[in-house]
Amino acid sequence: MAKTIVVKQIGSPIRRPQDQRATLIGLGLNKMHRTRELKDTPSVRGMINKIPHLVKIVEERD
């Protein structure tokens, strides 16, 4: 089974650039305090690193 991470949105996309909003949507997040379980891939990690002020990694699972 692939490693997964749980990501939680902690910031609002209001008054943020369009590319940051699109990154949130790409991660499957669009409203405050929602969480998603995603595969731990380099592309997902890059998206998280692009918007660290809007999301937080809650948990890393094996």
In degrees, rounded to 5, the angle at the alpha carbon of residue 4 between the alpha carbons of residues 19 and 62 is 160
- What would the DSSP string read from start to end of 1-62? ---EEEEEE-S--TT--HHHHHHHHHTT--STT-EEEEE--HHHHHHHHH-TTTEEEEEEE-
Confidence band (pLDDT; 50, 70, 90) for 1? Answer: low
CATH class, range 4-61: alpha beta
pLDDT at 62: 87
pLDDT tens-digit series, residues 7-53? 999 999 999 999 999 999 999 999 999 999 999 999 999 999 999 99
C-alpha span between 28 and 11 (Å, rounded) = 14
pTM higher than the cut 0.95? no
pLDDT at 2: 86
**Residue ranges covered by each domain of the chain:** 4-61
